[in-house]
Structure 1
Amino acid sequence: MMITSEISSLIKVSVGLVLCFVVLKWLWKLLDGFWITPKRLEKCLKRQGLIGNSYKFLVGDLKENSKLRDQAKNKPLPFTHDYFSRIQPLLHKLLQTSEKSCYTWMGPVPTVLITEHELIRDVFTRMNLFKKPKLNYLVEILFSGLVRYEGEKWAKHRKIVNPAFHMEKLKFMLPAFQTSISEELEKWEGLVTKTGSTEIDVWPSLLSITADGISRAAFGSSFQDGRKIFDLITEQKEIVMSNIKYSFIPGWKYMPTKANRRLESIHKEIQDLLNGIIGRRKKAMEEGEPAKDDVLGILLESNFREAKLMKTQNVGGKKQYALSFPEMVEECKLFYNAGQETTAVLLVWTMILLGKHQDWQAQAREEVLATFGKNKPDFDGLNNRLKIVTMILYEVLRLYPPVGATSRRLYDRETKLGDLTVPPGVVLSVSILHAHLDPKVWGDDAKEFNPERFSQGIAKATKGTNAYLPFGWGPRICIGQNFALLEAKMALAMILQCFSFELSPSYIHAPTSLTALTPQHGAHLILQRI
């Protein structure tokens, strides 16, 4: 009995020691991640002359940044294209005192601002070193799939998804775009017919056009289900952005808050809708039905080809694989999130700027009418004959890129980037907006609207540099840029065929940035039928 009691006591002591070790290890990991490592990185950055706030435990600069953003949103802004102080007030404040660069804290992670286009090119091209940051769990809800992957998995997904965005495939999607645009323009005509002219906030309309266009182009006859997905993603985005400030609290995502419960419910609804759409189409193709000329059909066809390839060969001894069903769902969701907003943002700023610059609007309309008359725009005309429209869109993308900055993170080893020594764990915020407004490249009128600068193409306008980055740069350049530009040209051409427009006196110039650069108070224009 004594021996049994001693063994029992020994077991209890051992279990207790193991539990203590586990708890201590967990506490040390938290201490290291939320204090020791951030303070070590802070010292490294300050030694190199970078300016930034001292690290605040757990929250970093989130509280101050949120406060400054709220203040900036409430301040009036003249009609200027120099709006960085409004969308990034903390960075703007730090840059006033920094001769080199600056850094901010996204929770416990230091983020260094990179503004020089030579360094930006270096970051984008060295993709195996400077990688996409592991996303905050809330942001990951919105952006998964291709945009998140690295290495071999990224290469495989890119190869399979890429055929859906070839120009020869995109021309088959024009009828889908035309239908969506025509339906919305009929509503505008109904409003204008009553009074001869009318004021309308075109931002919700452009969101509707691109949502329906993507739904039809992506899912063909299932576009109504696609539209439901868009509405759910919009709600999801609003919840994510309003709760992002809590996401750095350990264990927050497991708390049964109202927001977390709704996000889980939305996720299930989206998954169910996509599972149904993709499942039905996949089954039909397996039964011999030819692939349709929409994004989903092309994606499935590309995936089937890759699946056949994996059965017949190994490359370098590595197993070939196709997209799994859940991966297919994620790619469709990403297409919705990234594609719809990008095109809508491009269109809204284009209409705002053409409403302000009537001379360029007149030139664009003259070109459209000379090319198509009152007929529906065709692929060849859109792709090859709209020089002035293309110049305008390029200039809008320069002044109002859909995303003003993107980020990369160094994980593996200390690395030189220009004069900066970057320690592992640091995030680099690549400022696309700074590159687009660099007077050394664009001249003294860099902050002015001047489409003429693109009259001889992008390479000539940028003087051979890489200072034009609306869709990124390097191997990971946005796969959907042709899709976005073609849809934007189609919509703008059809609008110019039917309407003239100018800025309303009620228009308030207020660029704001959540997931993309949008007009905070909408885009109020006065439309007149021509």
Structure 2
Amino acid sequence: MFLTWLPSNITPNFILSKTQIVKKMETHTFFPLIISCLLFVYCVLRVCYSIWWKPKLLEKKLKRQGIRGTPYKLLIGDMKEYMRQITQAWSIPLTLTHEIAPRVDPFTHNIVEKYGKVCLCWFGTTPRLIVQDPELMKEVLSNKLGHFGGPPVNQLILILTRGLTTLEGEKWAQHRRIINPAFHLEKLKGMIPDFATSCGLLIEKWNKSIVQTGTCETDVWMEFQDLTGDIISRTAFGSNFEEGKKILQLQKELQVLVIEAMQTLYIPGFRFIPTKKNRTRKNLDRRITSMLKTLIQRKESEITSGKSRGDDLLGILLQSNKEEKNSLNKGMTIEEVIEECKLFYLAGHETTSNMLTWTMIVLAMHPNWQHKARQEVMQVCGDTSPDFEAISHLKIMTMILYEVLRLYPPVIAHYKHTYKETKLGNTLSIPAGVDVTLPTLLIHHDPDLWGDDAPEFKPQRFSQGVSKASTDCHLAFFPFGWGPRTCVGQNFALIEAKVALAVILQHFWFELSPSYAHAPQTGMTLQPQHGAQIVLHRLD
């Protein structure tokens, strides 16, 4: 507008004409439009690549090597069929059988039956390679080339713990090095009195229920959750175990909310929306973290002042962490110690309670083996509380626990992910971006590895140890994992289970309640869907 008053013959060279200004404006308007169109096309291509071209390319690479499996379906993969099969299977209890794989994990069981022990299915847009071959599994778990790692972690899981099981690389190695001393056998020996104390309280509770009639019915799954929660609280926090139990209760509430969220349709970013349940999850996490931080700081102060010997799990962890820092390493921050304490609860509490639950159910189904186990306990321990020396002589009980772990492994599968293209065996080349499932439950029930009697409860198969129990000595039994990432707490869990079972067998014989429904299912661990109702009888 300001040019209208200038005569055309005196317009300076540096001032543009009206026509030039219009052209410039058109150019400036058109340029952002081009950029917007290019960005739109780029986004469309990226989406198409992610949901179609990349999955089809990976599918082609895998199937070209003779790997059979389901065809890729846009976006959902096999999720719809997976949910259909598992919903149908979990709607009906089993008869009293140990052949549980078709109910617990029907989709994996059916796909392996159809396509073989190395086969392909789809978890959304991600190909999932199921590997049920012991030799190939050994390669995956040993991970010598470092190309296998944990699958991308659901952010909801991380609210429960960012501890050892979620870490990779040097950070994992550092934490494992610091945590290992807490689970050395010599340390565990000193914790057995705490195991026995907690078990004694459980026996006292059952005796009160049984005093009038001589029998009582109880859901041992719930009872063992309380027992193992008490044990992990005592052994982790020593004299502060009552505070530890409060933390455990909050963690159980948080775990229920997390599992519930994981079973619903995943919407990216939804966890940040301040819904009532999202706020509750965050509030529980804040409370747990705050309570653990206070407890850890108090424990550090008690150890420094000599008020605590530091012989519980937390004390040993803090001392080991201090030694790590003194050796010119960084050690763990207090936030990382908090996350490892959360993991103590998550892994040490639920895994052992479920192992004890299935052992009670199985021994109730097989009273002859219950009788054998009780005879051994009476012969080795008499009426006294079991100590480490006695525990080490319970051979029949060890065989029973191994056989229960074979038939009812706490974790039904191990999951890995390829972050680089890697060789597997002599012929397979697995591209990056593939999930790898090692189906523990199917392997533990495989007739090719365990014989035609694989579905039967036969503890005597472990009479000569784990290495000679199966027809394949390489890797047929791995309830606690295998290789460098074997569960650090497996000895803790087994000793805890032996003490608990020994004390129970000293006081009661037991049978399944008529109300018990045999319905194993998996959440984070293998659980009885409708509880574990057992009738207890006091020994004469």
* Normalised TM-score (structure 2): 0.90
Matched, 1:440 2:448: yes
Q: SS where residue 420 of structure 2 aligns? A: coil
Give the drift of 1:20. Answer: 6.9
- 1:219 aligns to 2:237 (yes or no): yes
Unaligned runs of 5+ in 1: 311-319
Q: For 2:294, which of 252, 276, 282 is the aligned residue?
A: 276
Q: What secondary structure sits across from 1:112 in the alignment? A: strand
Contact 2:372 2:396 in 1 (8 A): yes
Structure 2 contact 117–133 (Cα < 8 Å) conserved? no
The 8 Å contact of residues 147 and 422 in structure 2, kept in 1 or not, is answered as no
1:139 match: 157
Query: What's 2:500 paired with?
Result: 491
Question: How much has 1:67 moved relative to structure 2?
Answer: 2.6
Identify the match of residue 251 of structure 1 among 269, 283, 296: 269
Deviation at 1:113, TM superposition (A): 1.0
Partner residue in 1 for 2:228: 210
Deviation per CA, 1:85-109, whole angstroms, max 9, x where unpaired?
A: 1122222232332145333322322
Q: Which residue of 2 aligns with 1:182?
A: 200
How big is the shift at 1:505? 1.9
AA paired with 2:401? Answer: L
Q: Report the CA distance shift for 1:16/1:492 in structure 2 as closer, same or farther (over 3 A).
A: farther
User: How much does 1:232 deviate?
Assistant: 2.1
- The aligned runs of 1:27-42 (5 Å cut-off) are 28-42=45-59
In the TM superposition, what whole-angstrom CA distance separates every residue of 1:204-244 from its partner, at most 9, and x where no partner exists? 00111001111111111222222222222222222222222
Among 511, 514, 520, the alignment partner of 1:511 is: 520
After TM superposition, the structure 1 stretch with the greater mean CA deviation from structure 2, 245-254 or 394-403, is: 245-254
1:378 Cα deviation after fit = 0.9
Question: Which position in structure 2 is the counterpart of 1:66?
Answer: 83
For 2:128 and 2:334, the matched residues in 1 are separated by: 35
* Aligned match of 1:77: 94
2:327 aligned partner:
309
TM-score by length of 1: 0.91
Q: How far does residue 289 in structure 1 lie from its aligned partner after superposition? A: 5.0
Q: Does 1:423 align with 2:417?
A: no
Structure 1 residues 254 and 26, CA, compared in 2 at 3 Å: closer, same or farther?
Answer: farther
Cα distance change on mapping 1:233 and 1:377 into 2, 3 Å: same
Question: Does the C-alpha gap of structure 1 residues 267 and 61 become closer, same or farther in structure 2, counting only changes over 3 Å?
Answer: farther
**1:237-280 alpha-carbon deviations (Å, 9 max, x no partner):** 22222222456433233333333222212211111111111121
Counterpart of 1:362 in structure 2: which amino acid? H
Cα deviation 1:477-513 (Å, max 9, x = unaligned): 1100000001000100010011000112222111101
**CA positional deviation for 1:307:** 0.7
Partner letter of residue 277 of structure 1?
A: L
Partner of 2:180: 162
* CA-CA distance at 1:29 after TM superposition: 4.3
Secondary structure class of the residue paired with 1:404: coil
2:106 aligns with one of 89, 104, 110: 89
**Residues 55 and 246 of structure 1, relative CA distance in 2, 3 Å threshold:** farther
Structure 1 residue corresponding to 2:258, chosen from 240, 246, 256: 240
State which drifts further: 77-86 or 39-48.
39-48
Q: Which has the larger radius of gyration?
A: 2
Contact 2:109 2:442 in 1 (8 A): no
Q: Aligned AA for 2:340?
A: E
> In structure 1, the residue corresponding to 2:383 is in which secondary structure?
coil
Distance 1:324 1:23 in 2: 44
**Cα deviations across residues 107-159 of structure 1 (Å, max 9, x unaligned)?**
32221111111111111112512111121212333352111222211111110
Which residue of structure 2 aligns with residue 297 of structure 1?
315
- Matched residues in 1 for 2:360 and 2:487: separation? 23
Does residue 1:194 correspond to 2:212, yes or no? Answer: yes
Q: Is residue 523 from structure 1 mapped to residue 540 from structure 2 by the alignment?
A: no
RMSD value over aligned CA atoms? 2.5
Amino acid at match of 1:399: L
CA distance in 2, matches of 1:58, 1:259: 27
User: Do 1:119 and 1:418's aligned partners in 2 also have CA atoms closer than 8 Å?
Assistant: no
Partner of 2:128: 111
| 1:364 and 1:389 in contact (8 A); partners too | yes
Query: Who is 1:231 aligned against?
Result: 249
How many residue pairs were aligned? 519
- Mean CA deviation greater in 8-17 or 211-220: 8-17
The more displaced of 13-22 and 264-273 is 13-22
Percent of aligned positions that are identical: 45
Q: Which amino acid aligns with 1:77?
A: L
Q: Which residue of 2 aligns with 1:260?
A: 278
For the 8 Å contact 1:107–1:248, the answer to whether it is kept is: no
In 1, Cα distance between equivalents of 2:371 and 2:405 = 20
Distance change (3 Å), C-alpha of 1:54 and 1:196: same
